[in-house]
Structure 1
């Protein structure tokens, strides 16, 4: 098991024995455990590859694919990183076993689950935290501190985004390995509407301003990208945008989705100042428009050197730190069960609003027992896609078991063919030749490998032409225009453009 080999952050000599349930995402928190008085003593995952990897990092630890046997082991807390729609029931199971819980996002999938989870936390007297990490980047912690000091006044409006194209993750695990069995798609990343995954954009705004959401509305968005397993417009692969009223009357646009431009831009307008975080952090101060927006360099609070070693801009360190601090010292963490509910509920209700053509819904405060009791039987949820339904049950498993690995290869090949064709068409307009050169360099390096991938995809789609599997295969093939991209004449043209961009880049670097 992993024990303390570094200087501890806390004065307490007490150790927290931690079990990790879900060894894909769960293991990414591992690096800083020792410095937080945490010993990783147990793990649980149905995937044998992940269990083996866990034991290499934690020799002597207990590991199992059986959650009940896992929870019977002697440890204090669970880092819960199971499948997203299962978090509520899994967390309740942990609490019933006497374990503190640090749960990955989101906290629950339906309003009824949320009521059950809140009541289970209250009954247990144990620590429950949501591992929402985006509020705890260097820029967001800086903004929260300055907002608390009154630098920005009252929030008027904000725009937050978690736009993340994750087509490949429909067919692979988080570590990039294809889903097993290969005829299946991912348990939830293949179908979950993006409204449900709203906390990475809403969470930072809540922590920065100290406000909670009170009302939400969302119009339906009908366009989606190619290559996603579900054909429903309400499923993954599209855009999910909502407008949210906050507790001071401000309005927030919360944007999630799969598009052709990943974006994590944050913009806040206060009555005395404004902020924009998009890679760097810029502020406009003075309660008006008489000054420019200037860049600032945020600094970490104490222990920032530990945060710099962790994922998600340091956020993974802070959620683990707050969790350990609450267990060891009793100081409440930012995302207790009630704040977790405040952050999770707007996504559930935004999805419902989009299904009802933009009908607004009030966001209940689950701190109030009378208010949350209204939702005890509210099981409204998006219909789940059958992850083993991409091909008919009668299909030849030898053929369909290649599907997940083939889709991983096909998505890469299709996107690179499409990018090469489109950027070459704009060769005279590109002002960043080094970037263009890298795009074509990768395409030209691998293009000879692409035709067999497209041939395999075409063959499998023709074997089961009416299946969802065939549909996504054909969507990617058609999107790629691979026959045009792999023509000798285009390859020659791409080589010339790439050589020209290389020369331009060298000349620019000299000037």
Structure 2
């Protein structure tokens, strides 16, 4: 399997893991000469270019798109049109029109589209999914999820204060897929409507516009009837476990990823109330479950890297064996459109805004 990589920030990280897993990185691309040179020093067998279009005719089986956050769809559609399998990192689309065009391109192509969203594959989230699929929690009514970074004000300003950088130009709701994708995967639901709230408001005393962009809360009604509450951005109290915390409240039990430092952050706490237990049981039951290690060549993979390994193994199986993508185009577009619609809600006083239905259950 020969692949190319476009964008050599996160793309270089993925390229390293591709090589480790036996995937040939044949071509790399970045507009920054220093980044390109650094990648070629690590990948001497790869060719390099500053123009991604040169990869279209390079005879690649697949391409990893890790370019600017809000610029994936045009490249994805171009590669799909050439029959090149796509693994697209971060947002699938910048608006509804682009999302529907991407869906059409993926479904018309001889190649596949996979969303490089690895958060549903984190060790603790896999434990949650096993419990949901086994029916342990009953009907899920409320999901909460965080994706937070505890940066200093100076570091935050440097990251999101530059309008020339993609982080400075995207809406504060846009980077929501690290919470929405696990929510949708765990519930089997589609987003129906979203209300977005700034955690800090620009008119508050001592609060500036940058602080108001720093963090948002999304309230998402799901197609199952459940409610999801997600928090994104820069707030103190960053969770361990890859910046992620998730809780599920079901009709029979509660489960959450453990809020603890170190290895316990990859575990899950389950609680069953006394009324759900066999007669004669003494009070509620609580337990903490630890995910089994993921092995590669007989060696445990670092917990923080398990999801990336599973993501790339899944993509290789899609490309070489024809297996379904782990996260295909329609759920990818749905999760990304929550951020798009959330920006509209934020601009319109946090009113609920419908999320376009891209599930395919009805005519698009």
Q: Give the one of 244, 256, 263 matched to 2:220.
A: 244
Hey, what does 2:205 align to over in structure 1? none
Please report how far the alpha carbon of residue 154 of structure 1 lies from its aligned counterpart in structure 2 after TM superposition.
1.2
Q: Give the one of 246, 250, 254 matched to 1:266.
A: 246
Hey, what does 1:282 align to over in structure 2? 269
CA offsets, 1:80-137, max 9 Å, x none? 0000011111211222333110000110111111111111112213110111111111
SS in structure 1 at match of 2:166: coil
1:103/1:129 contact within 8 Å kept: yes
1:365/1:371 contact within 8 Å kept: no
Hey, what does 2:323 align to over in structure 1? 331
- 1:17 pairs with 2:2: yes
Unaligned runs of 5+ in 1: 1-15, 174-182, 225-230, 373-511
SS in structure 1 at match of 2:167: coil
In the alignment of these two chains, the number of paired residues is 340
1:169/1:189 contact within 8 Å kept: no
Hey, what does 1:142 align to over in structure 2? 127
Question: Within 5 A, what are the aligned runs for 1:65-84?
Answer: 65-84=50-69
Q: CA 1:308–1:155 in 2, change beyond 3 Å: closer, same or farther?
A: same
Question: Within 5 A, what are the aligned runs for 1:90-239?
Answer: 90-165=75-150, 168=155, 171=158, 187-223=165-201, 232=209, 237-239=213-215
Hey, what does 1:10 align to over in structure 2? none
Unaligned runs of 5+ in 2: 203-207, 260-264, 277-282
Q: CA 1:186–1:276 in 2, change beyond 3 Å: closer, same or farther?
A: farther
Please report how far the alpha carbon of residue 196 of structure 1 lies from its aligned counterpart in structure 2 after TM superposition.
0.5
- 1:345 pairs with 2:330: no
Q: CA 1:81–1:261 in 2, change beyond 3 Å: closer, same or farther?
A: same
SS in structure 1 at match of 2:31: coil
Please report how far the alpha carbon of residue 358 of structure 1 lies from its aligned counterpart in structure 2 after TM superposition.
2.1
Q: CA 1:189–1:353 in 2, change beyond 3 Å: closer, same or farther?
A: same
Question: Which of the pair is proportionally richer in strand?
Answer: 2
* TM, length-normalised to structure 1: 0.61
CA offsets, 1:159-214, max 9 Å, x none? 101112556376479xxxxxxxxx97652112423311101011112222322222
Q: CA 1:303–1:157 in 2, change beyond 3 Å: closer, same or farther?
A: farther
**Based on CA coordinates, which of the two structures has the bigger radius of gyration?**
1
Q: CA–CA distance in 2 between the matches of 1:220 and 1:255?
A: 10
Q: CA–CA distance in 1 between the matches of 2:92 and 2:77?
A: 11
Q: CA 1:303–1:59 in 2, change beyond 3 Å: closer, same or farther?
A: closer
Please report how far the alpha carbon of residue 287 of structure 1 lies from its aligned counterpart in structure 2 after TM superposition.
7.1
SS in structure 1 at match of 2:343: helix
SS in structure 2 at match of 1:189: helix
Q: CA 1:307–1:355 in 2, change beyond 3 Å: closer, same or farther?
A: farther
CA offsets, 1:15-36, max 9 Å, x none? x100000011101113432464
After superposition, the CA RMSD in angstroms is: 2.7
Question: Which of the pair is proportionally richer in helix?
Answer: 1
Which of structures 1 and 2 has the larger relative contact order (alpha carbons within 8 angstroms, sep 6+)?
Answer: 2
* TM, length-normalised to structure 2: 0.84
Q: Give the one of 219, 223, 231 matched to 1:255.
A: 231
SS in structure 2 at match of 1:190: helix
Hey, what does 1:59 align to over in structure 2? 44
